[in-house]
Amino acid sequence: MLLWDETLFNNGEVLEFDHLPEYFAHRESQMQALRFSLKPALRGMRPVNCLVKGPPGTGKTTAVMKVFNEMKEYTDSVVLVKVNCQMESTRFAVVSRIYEQLTSIAPPSSGISFRRLFEKVVKFLIDSNKTLVVALDDINYLFPEGHADEVMYSLLRAHEQYPGAKISVIAIISDVGIPYSFDPRVGSVFLPEEVAFPRYEIGEIADIIANRVKHAFFKDVVSDEALDKVVTYVDRTGDLRIGIDLLKRSALNAERRASRTVSVEDVDKAYEASRLLHLCRNIRSLSDNEKTLLGLIAKDSSLQAGELYKSFHDITGLGYTRFYEMIEKMHVSRLIDADFSGKGMRGRTRYVAPAYDSNDILKCLE
């Protein structure tokens, strides 16, 4: 039995989402592609833009940050900035974050225009003779309101208005089934090196999870059976972050029982909480009106599309075109099922239902 001052964790920090692991296996080709794209900056040239894409939890952000850290050891003439687009979801917010990381000074939240703030960013780069590389992490969050094109256009065409400015972009896209495309004006200057991050194979998942176990816990805390169970759960979603969270929650469950080992039962219990990570992360990417619509669907899964639209319109005042676009977006991203039943006029009656348990959706919407 564990005593009050005892713990199963040897180094629990390696189970935090923002931890940058020293051991980063099974992504060497992607790392090499990123290094090759950034290498021109070491010669005073503008780096090659990158489009980093793949399912959630496949190492995209970690790979970019590790390459950034490597590059910092070789040069101080390149400024490497990561922007979390889930948090900074407008053009002004993105440039504010860039300005703050360049100058260590937070700009005022009001009273200054985007143009003026962007000029300050570019002037800093030109005056200091530095190249800027911006990683737009989860740029998905900028697409719904058109901010992605605004941000990309401003950054990638800065040199046209401000000669001498050298800026490149690494756009990190989590592929959750939602179609995306850049405006042709952006595409003509983006011309990225595409770096794909596929789902981890089950053997790769087992290797990575075993390494986290080795560093996070004391010896023999996690049995082979419990480890296999974690790997099985991760393989269902392909999201490694679920496995890392699952390890942490499983060990906390064991500690709650004052046990010195993590059991399969601890893992099963922890999964009830961890399994919602993937769902909740997708739901957080929705706009407020999309969340309202998803909530209506979760509360009544028997509604026809016409009935659903009436309820949605009464709440939001939005028209049918916008409603239809939201339905298609959530259908493609596998949050809902929206199929035609074959009944009604020419078999076009459409029923909309949640693709997940309604209670789970409502919990994530809270």
Amino acid at 58: T
Phi, psi of 340 (to 5 degrees): -85, 135
Contact between residue 64 and residue 135 where contact means Cβ atoms under 8 Å apart: yes
Token pair in block for residue 5: 């001052």
Query: Which residue type does 191 have?
Result: L
DSSP letter for each residue of 233-272: HHHHH--HHHHHHHHHHHHHHHHHTT-SSB-HHHHHHHHH
User: Residue 267, class by beta-carbon neighbours within 10 Å (0-12 exposed, 13-18 middle, 19+ buried)?
Assistant: buried
Q: Which residues contact 356 (CB under 8 A, 6 or more apart)?
A: 279, 335
DSSP 8-state assignment for residue 9: B
- Report the 3 state secondary structure along 186-203: HHHHHCCEEEECCCCCHH
- Ligand-binding annotation for 212, yes or no, is yes
Rounded to an integer, what distance in angstroms lies between the CA atom of residue 131 and that of residue 44? 8
Per the annotation, does 291 bind a ligand? no
**What would the two tokens of residue 173 be?**
């896209």
- End-to-end CA distance of the chain: give it in Å, rounded: 37
- Measured from the Cβ of residue 34, the count of other Cβ atoms closer than 10 Å reads 26
Residue 277 identity (one-letter amino acid): L
232 annotated as ligand-binding: no
Does the annotation place 60 within a ligand binding site? yes
Per the annotation, does 58 bind a ligand? Answer: yes
Cα–Cα distance list, 146 to 91, 114, 201 (Å)? 10, 16, 35
User: Tokens for 342?
Assistant: 């074959």
Burial annotation 116-128 (CB, 10 A radius, 16+ → b, else e): ebbebbbebbbee
Q: Cβ contacts of residue 286 below 8 Å, gap of 6+?
A: 294, 330
Q: Is the dihedral of CA 96, 99, 100, 105 positive or negative?
A: negative
61 is in an annotated binding site: yes
Report whether 261 contacts 221 (CB < 8 A): yes
237 assigned binding-site residue: no
As annotated, the binding site includes 58-62, 200, 212
- The annotation places the binding site for ATP at 58-62, 200, 212
